[in-house]
């Protein structure tokens, strides 16, 4: 078992090397071992490219015959963008397959393991299962609900302020925390802010990492009356990512047209109004195969997202500064709650020091973003 864990951890590390690049597919890694020697390795690099098992089998060549294959997710057994991995494994003549977790995709959900076992291949599942679940928390939410995994990010002072009473907010946190923020932008499909953030800060909403390695997320602006300026950076800057303006029927038709002419995709989100229905918006983004959303909004958007129940995970940066002031804004606005029993509680917390700042992550459910895997 220790040997299985060793090779599975190697496969998990391979899978993680494609973090933020495989959406809407999962991250998957594979290692092939024969007579105690690693003969093949591979990972799924992006949607539409060869799956991890196929890459590892190509790396192993003829040495894959009678070998043991370690793979972080149950091999697929259906035709999607690529062919079934079960067929490739059987054709290669592997002897044993060790799986970290079963695939919750209804098209697979244990069928891949069953096909291998019926063909005489020994299958062991559940090796480093929790680590595999954690790695693919985005995929697990998306594939079972068809809605994106939502992360709410905030940066505050020690006394819970996001800006001074005069509106100054750059920079509350230090360089290390800001770089982590850009890494979050790099790994999630989309970044969501409210129109007030655009009007006040005119942000780029791009992922700026060393040596230009960042991948810009799709920009989603919650703007119920289409007030986004056509000269905003999010519309004029050079970026491989596009901008979505999520609005309502209350938005003037001419404003919608001008934003579309400026290059934005305008979505009229159905709902009672007067604000954008965030639950409906998540459904629409899921239909577009946007599997994850990072919320970097102000207090109004953050409060609305929490009230709507769309937040799965929180990423919170705390700076060791005290701003004070009755008029200094906080990170969550809205009507608030009447009793502490109604407060949003975080579970499965992690804490990390980033320079002089503290970085806290947690989940809004006790399951910590996990789901029940198929039996």
Catalytic residue list:
53
CB-CB neighbours of 255 under 10 Å: 18
Answer yes or no: is 79 a known binding residue.
no
Answer yes or no: is 134 a known binding residue.
no
Answer yes or no: is 356 a known binding residue.
no
Answer yes or no: is 296 a known binding residue.
yes
Answer yes or no: is 77 a known binding residue.
no
Answer yes or no: is 324 a known binding residue.
no
Whose CA is closest to 218, among 191, 257, 253, 256? Answer: 191
> What tokens appear for 166 in the block?
């005069």
DSSP secondary structure of 288-325: TT--EEEE---HHHHHHHHHHT---EEEEEE-S-----
Answer yes or no: is 224 a known binding residue.
yes
Answer yes or no: is 309 a known binding residue.
no
Answer yes or no: is 85 a known binding residue.
yes
Q: 32: helix, coil or strand?
A: strand
Give the distance, in angstroms, between the CA of residue 101 and the centroid of all CA atoms in the same chain: 19
> What tokens appear for 71 in the block?
């793979």
d(CA 314, CA 97): 36
Answer yes or no: is 21 a known binding residue.
no
Estimate the share of the chain in helix, then strand, then coil, as percent rounded to the nearest 5.
30, 20, 50
Answer yes or no: is 369 a known binding residue.
no
Answer yes or no: is 29 a known binding residue.
no
d(CA 100, CA 44): 15
The neighbouring-strand residues paired with 247 are 268
Answer yes or no: is 265 a known binding residue.
no
d(CA 82, CA 88): 11
Provide the total of helices (H) and of strands (E) in the chain, helices listed first: 12, 14
Answer yes or no: is 171 a known binding residue.
yes
**Binding site membership for Zn(2+): which residues?**
51, 76, 85
Residues flagged as binding site for NADP(+):
155, 169, 171, 197, 201, 224, 298-304
> Can you say which residues are annotated as belonging to the binding site for substrate?
185, 205, 208, 296
Could you list the residues known to form a binding site, using ranges.
Answer: 51, 76, 85, 155, 169, 171, 185, 197, 201, 205, 208, 224, 296, 298-304
């Amino acid at each position: 078992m220790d040997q299985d864990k060793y090779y599975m951890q190697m496969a998990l590390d391979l899978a993680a090397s494609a973090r933020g690049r495989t959406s809407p597919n999962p991250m998957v890694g594979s290692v092939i071992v024969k007579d105690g020697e690693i003969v093949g390795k591979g990972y799924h690099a992006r949607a539409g490219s060869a799956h991890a098992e196929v890459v590892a089998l190509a790396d192993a060549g003829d040495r894959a015959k009678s070998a043991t294959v370690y793979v972080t997710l149950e091999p697929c057994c259906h035709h999607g963008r690529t062919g079934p991995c079960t067929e490739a494994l059987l054709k290669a003549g592997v002897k044993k397959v060790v799986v970290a977790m079963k695939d919750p995709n209804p098209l697979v959900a244990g069928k891949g393991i069953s096909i291998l076992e019926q063909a005489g291949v020994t299958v062991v599942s559940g090796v480093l299962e929790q680590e595999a679940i954690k790695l693919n928390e985005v995929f697990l939410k998306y594939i079972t609900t068809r809605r994106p995994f939502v992360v709410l990010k905030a940066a505050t002072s020690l006394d819970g302020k996001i800006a001074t009473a005069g509106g100054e907010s750059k920079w509350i946190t230090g360089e290390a925390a800001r770089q982590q923020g850009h890494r979050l932008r790099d790994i999630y499909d989309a970044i969501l802010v409210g129109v007030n953030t655009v009007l006040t800060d005119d942000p780029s909403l791009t992922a700026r990492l060393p040596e230009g390695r960042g991948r810009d997320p799709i920009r989603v602006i919650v703007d119920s009356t289409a007030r986004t300026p056509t000269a905003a950076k999010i519309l004029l800057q050079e970026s491989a990512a596009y901008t979505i303006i999520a609005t309502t029927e209350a938005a003037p038709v001419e404003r919608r047209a001008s934003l579309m002419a400026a290059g934005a995709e305008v979505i009229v989100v159905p709902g009672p109004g007067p604000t954008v229905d965030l639950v409906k918006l998540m459904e629409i983004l899921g239909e577009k195969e946007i599997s994850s959303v990072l919320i970097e909004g102000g207090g109004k958007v953050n409060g609305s997202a929490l009230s709507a129940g769309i937040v799965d995970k929180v990423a919170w940066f705390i700076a060791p500064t005290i701003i004070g002031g009755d008029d200094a804004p906080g990170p969550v606005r809205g009507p608030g709650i009447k009793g502490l029993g109604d407060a949003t509680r975080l579970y499965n917390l992690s804490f990390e020091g980033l320079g002089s700042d503290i970085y806290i992550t947690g989940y809004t459910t006790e399951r910590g973003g996990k789901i029940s895997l198929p039996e």
